[in-house]
Amino acid sequence: MINDSRAIVALDFDGRADAEALVARLGDACGHYKIGLELLTAAGPGLVEELVGRGKEVFLDLKLFEIPDSVAGAVRAAGALGASMVTVHAMGGTGIMAAAVDAAREFPGLRVLALTVVTSMTGSDLADIGIGATTDEQVLRLARLAMGAGCHGVIASPREAGALRGVLGPRPLIVTPGVTLPGGEAGGHGARAGTAQAALAAGASHVVVGRSVTRAADPVAALRRVRDGR
């Protein structure tokens, strides 16, 4: 069974009411939620504070990609809200990632995760922006860069978890979005999706599950299926 703390439910909603309704339905069954740009923009930072106040961990998936000073300011804001994880784009380079890590030092509970390659991207998408590497190669390249910048871990698809664990060793976090139930749909994550059990067996430290739970008739049962690998 997957430990509760390793399964993160993505609150991919366009408003606060739907997000709060799901959190209420899951109750004590879930202790860790992801909030992305859509919900943060719609609901504001108060939702983060509310969840933290309830004892929940919040993963703020901001995918920060700005000048270093702006990234540092956003990371400090995330830390002040009580977030436990925040994301920065590894493609922004060492300066941006190092600025995020430096800002996070003010908040001992905040971990900076570097997004390697968005899970919906393919090799042809990388080629469109002038990158000749495969997705696997680019993920590993950016992960090494992130470790050099002091990041606490990386974001990658379930497909790359094994290779990343082999390169990064046992300590860094490897958080994998694009997680589905066995036989479930990949949603917007495309060919690089995978199951929670496969991702964790390959070396992921956390898995992020979205519509398999949030759109289920019984979210608690669906989350249990994610944890049980059924």
Which structure tokens are listed for 109? 């509970």
Identify the CA nearest to 5 among candidates 27, 33, 24.
33
Catalytic residue status for 34:
no
Which structure tokens are listed for 115? 């997004």
Identify the CA nearest to 227 among candidates 11, 20, 8.
8
Angle (deg, nearest 10), helices 68-81 and 94-104: 30
For residue 36, what is the enclosing H or E element? strand 32-36
Q: Which residue out of 6, 16, 25, 63 is catalytically annotated?
A: 63
Question: Using an 8 Å Cβ cutoff, are 65 and 89 in contact?
Answer: yes
**N- to C-terminal Cα separation, the chain:** 10
Which structure tokens are listed for 221? 């049962």
Positions annotated as catalytic residues are: 63
